[in-house]
Amino acid sequence: MGRTKINVVLLMILKLFLVGTTTGEETYENDRHIKELSSSHTYKNVNHLHLNFLRGRSELDQSEIKEKHISEINADLMKKYHEIVGIHEKLMKEAFQLDEYKNEIIRKENDLQLCQSKVDKLESEINSQQTTINQLTLNANFLASYDECKKELSDKSNKLEICEDQLKKLNSSVIEKDEKISEYSATIQNITEHQKTISLKLEEMKTLEEIKDKDIEICHAEIIELNRTSHLNIPSSCLPFGDHPGVHEIEVSGVGSFDVLCDSQLAGPGWIVIQQRIDGKENFTRDWASYRKGFGSLDSDFFLGLEKMYRLTSQQQYELYIHLVAENGNSFYARYDDFKISDEDHGYSLSLGEYKGNIRDVMRYNENMKFTTFDRDNDLYSRNCAVFSDNSGWWYNKCSSINLNGLYGASLEWWTGTEAIKLKEAKMLIRSKEDKNR
């Protein structure tokens, strides 16, 4: 009997260890077997122990579920905590900015109070000085003191006006800040519209001026033609002047007689200087009408004029010689054997011919291009190249590697492909090929 009890106890203990892995049928079989072995009091105690174990295991499972739920709640609480921390930091930043705004307002109020104090003090001093002046005017012995006090009163009055102006400005900056922004926007819009109106009027005036210039030139040519028999025989080139360079008068059909600068030293006799940059004294920021007519002084910087160039090169074949002197003193030249300028209706477009020289032929990029000024855009770029080049006129393509009409000392250069040679001197000269062969 004792051994039976021991066996039952051992079986119950084994059941406790295997209860988590056995199926329902196996558990039932075990229970039946144990009951068959014994129905004694020992079995009942062991069975009670088994029930307590199952109950404990169920409570343990429920505890794990609760712990898992608590863990999920804690994770959610941590997430909410971080969100609260973020909101707190944002509120702290906004509170800091609010403090800064309050401090700025306090500073402005202090400045206003300080200026008001200065105004009150100056008014008090003025009243005191006025009283002194009134007393001094009654006594002729104090005229000198009166003048001095009067001057001091004037100075303090000026200071008072300055303080009052500052006070007004401070008030305006605090109260009317947003209003000024809207006013500026409206002003900018009005200015833009006004500029458009002015530009249209300017174009109309320039058109009238060009028509007037053409009429004057036609009349001048007719006068020259009518009075030709009474005039001296004026040459049409510099060749007759030989080795006597300088300013000489020539006559060209269509424009009449005018002075030119002849040069016989750079490349032989007979050359007409059509453009010169030697000292930077002349302003080359010019409009279309100025480049058409020509400007400058023949003993300094000048541009002969597009219409004169057209008239000269339309009568016979001309060659172009460009003389360059770098800032370091080195000299360069570029020579073209068929230089020609078209008429104004075709934009005074450029033709060069074949090239010879000791510097890169970058003028080729500008060949066949019309002349462009800041008020007459004839280039191929989406915007006006003259505006990007100091508002100076040139035969721009999609802008240019050179511009001998650019700002002297800054934009006067010749691009070699690897570097830009800064120039201190540039000259453009033309000569008739028929004169050359005589």
Closest C-alpha among 429, 399, 425, 401 to residue 324? 425
Q: How do residues 19-32 score in pLDDT, each as one tens digit? A: 444 444 555 565 56
**Two tokens at 426?**
């540039």
Stretch 103-114: mean pLDDT:
84
Tally of CB atoms within 10 A around 197: 10
β-pairing, 302-303 with 246-252? unpaired
**Two tokens at 188?**
């900018």
| Interatomic CA distance for residues 83 and 90, integer angstroms | 11
Query: If pLDDT is split at 50, 70 and 90, which confidence band does 111 have?
Result: confident
Q: Is the pLDDT of residue 362 over 90?
A: yes
Closest C-alpha among 45, 51, 61, 3 to residue 27? 51
Q: Is the pLDDT of residue 99 over 90?
A: no
pLDDT score recorded for residue 13: 57
Q: Is the pLDDT of residue 345 over 90?
A: yes
Instruction: Say which range, 216-230, 255-269, 309-323, has the weakest mean pLDDT.
Output: 216-230
Q: How do residues 69-82 score in pLDDT, each as one tens digit? A: 888 888 888 888 88
Query: If pLDDT is split at 50, 70 and 90, which confidence band does 165 have?
Result: confident
Stretch 45-71: mean pLDDT:
82
Q: How do residues 193-222 score in pLDDT, each as one tens digit? A: 887 888 888 888 888 878 877 777 776 566
Residue 249, amino acid: E
pLDDT score recorded for residue 21: 46
| Interatomic CA distance for residues 271 and 357, integer angstroms | 17
Write the CB contacts of 213 (distance below 8 Å, at least 6 apart in sequence).
289, 292, 293
Q: DSSP per residue over 303-371, as a string?
A: E--HHHHHHHHHHS-EEEEEEEEETTS-EEEEEEEEEEE--GGGTT-EE--SEEESS--GGGGGTTPPP
pLDDT score recorded for residue 269: 92
Highest mean pLDDT: which of 128-137, 217-226, 289-298? Answer: 289-298
pLDDT score recorded for residue 435: 58
More confident residue, 33 or 233: 233
